[in-house]
Structure 1
Amino acid sequence: MGFADAVNRCFGIGKCRHTTGGTMCPSFMVTREEQHSTRGRARLLFEMMGGHLAGGPGLRDPHVKQALDLCLSCKGCKGDCPVNVDMASYKAEFLSHYYAHRLRPRTAYTLGLIPLWARAASHAPRLVNSVMHTPGLAALAKAAAGVAPARDAPSFARETFRSWFEPHQGSATLRPVLLWPDTFTNYFQPDVAVAAVEVLEAAGFSVRIPRANLCCGRPLFDYGMLHT
């Protein structure tokens, strides 16, 4: 199904306008504005594809961009909507076109490319943590990254999960199972993956991990960096 067809899935039942129960749609629950409901966003996308908005045809309409800004890409609509409207995917596709051959906001490069920054920081995690938690330096780093000053910076683990796992020897006689450590587990919370290894081995499995550093791709997806 193409993008133009996908945005036609919504038939306007309005379940996304509920303010209690379910997941869909958190931004509407706060603003109570139609443009921030799944239905409202789907309608704007439909009008955009038909060339009926002030911005004209094409996937660079500022009205659609504004409506999608508060979408959390939580995929609540994918599960709660009767016709499974997937606004997170629509947003990613829209942003991919909207920023084609354009500079993106700073947060897209800092958070969307977090796998690259985390891998670099893993070579000197104590130094990076010191900078990110020292008053003054932390404020400068957050300002450069486009992160709100009130947000606490996460701490990088002193040892990544991959480093911990490297000398780990699984039993060749047990059933193999693949454990995929994502960016956040590997660089920020390796204890979660370590615990998973212990549980799997206790259950009689021999744990394997991918040879290459792999990211789930979600940070790139959230910022519409679909061709990165």
Structure 2
Amino acid sequence: MKILAHINWFIATTIIFIALTFSIIMYPILPRPYARKIAAWFVRIATFFSVTKIGQEDPEAQMFLVNHQSDLDIGVIETITSKDITWVAKKALFDVPFFGLAMSLPEDIEVERESKISLIKLLHAAKDRLKKKRVLTMFPEGTRSRTGKMLPFKSGAKFIADKYQLKVQPIVLMETSKCYNIKEFYYMPKNIKVIFLDSFIADKSDQNWLENLRSKMQQAYDNEIKREK
């Protein structure tokens, strides 16, 4: 089984690389967000994973906050919504050859943590994308967690949402690391559950809403694990 999973990983990673290449080629040709959507659907179809949605996407949501477990997560989100997403991610990812180009061409937003100048740029960029009716999407943990326990949420999401009083919708991805794990060279196609939680308007007077949201998302994750057993 492990040998098959390693072979699958190599094939899936090759497919992802091909999809990124095509998306870069298509960006100047197709209007946004079609290049990325087509690439994401190509990966989903070619690697045989499926998605089951639980709950309803809010058509008025301005920000998605998503837990992060796998490099497959972006592709999953891109295929479950037709919205024009702009990803907010750490600057280091934009500096990665090839992958950084696939993020900068569709005008994703880079942020450098612990930099006040970067935060100002972040606000300006977020305002610009919101004017273009794009949905700001973040992994508030800041990095992947494969343990099933969500890491503490970074304050960047609250910083943006509070400033513009955004309508935020949390999305919980279920066990995507058990589908694709780049560190263990593992891939096995499976049905990935995606849980849409209720949306809300960010309230800057509530200093704890982000931490409370983390608890709510973790509870939804844990409850779904129990239902699967």
Q: TM-score higher than 0.5 here?
A: no
Q: Quick check: which has more Rg, 1 or 2? A: 1
Q: What TM-score do the two structures reach when normalised by structure 1? A: 0.25
What TM-score results when the alignment is normalised by the length of structure 2? 0.24
Higher relative contact order (CA 8 A, sep 6+): 2
Whose strand proportion is higher, 1 or 2? 2
